[in-house]
Amino acid sequence: MSAEAARKLLIGDDGAGTSKLEYFDIEGVAEQVRIAFSVADVPFEDVRIAWSDWGTKKPTTKYGQLPQLILPDGTIVTQSEAMLRLAGAADKQGKLYPDDAKSRLEIDQLLGLVGDFARAWRPCLYIGMRPQAFGHPEKKDWADADKTIEKLRTEFIKNELPRYLEYFAEKHGKDKFLTGDDLTIADIAVYMQIRYFTRGIADYAPKDCVDKYPDSIAYLKRVEEHPKVAEYKKNKA
């Protein structure tokens, strides 16, 4: 998809339309899309859904989940990765998601790898929130809950986190970003996933757990210092 075609979808034929990105008032899986829109200079309405309104909102969504992107013509786009690719394709400079097969193949592989990273962590996170989904009783009735959660998360931080950080460092250690000197949607996705582990959101995943990997810390800084990313973060603050 060309940048012109992507932008027509997102802002209409006359360029006066606005897409609405609906998600909760957290970063989550929508933050990478917000950043990509900002880097691509695509105006959008950032709609934050309150948790108290979710019960009413949920039945109106396409698959009972967020985020969803509502285009100016009323089309509803689901799945954050599809939104990320669309935002990248809309970059008029052609850097976020270059319109050539070889570049997109490289970026798509990296998006797949960061997806593997996220899925590997997911059981460690959700076992503390929805233990029944993993064959355990509710947390209040599960005597070994905290011990099991601590073991899973601690082992992930010790074994899996460095493995994935090394995979990405093999790419960004050679160049400024993952595929060269230009920021792509792969960088935005990887940045968000690594940054998650620097925020101390989950118990037993301390916010300093990435500090021992200086290449990863330096990479996060390079992404944050990209002029458009820095501008987005400044406006968000």
In the numeric block, the tokens 């230009």 are attached to: 182
180 conformational bin, left if phi > 0, alpha if psi -120 to 50, beta if neither? left
The pair of structure tokens assigned to 47 is: 């709609």
In the numeric block, the tokens 């997806």 are attached to: 115
Domains annotated for the chain, with CATH where assigned, are: 3-89 (3.40.30.10), 101-236 (1.20.1050.10)
What integer pLDDT is reported at residue 174 of this predicted model?
80
DSSP string covering 183-206, please?
--HHHHHHHHHHHHTTTT-STTS-
Asked if the model's pLDDT at residue 13 lies above 80, the reply is yes
In the numeric block, the tokens 């000197």 are attached to: 181
Asked if the model's pLDDT at residue 129 lies above 80, the reply is yes
Buried b (16+ CB within 10 A) or exposed e, 142-171: beebeebbeebbeebbeeebbebbeebbeb
Asked if the model's pLDDT at residue 237 lies above 80, the reply is no
In the numeric block, the tokens 């979710």 are attached to: 54
Tens-digit pLDDT profile for residues 67-105: 999 999 999 999 999 999 999 999 999 999 999 999 999
The pair of structure tokens assigned to 60 is: 């109106």
Tell me the whole-structure pTM to 2 decimals: 0.94
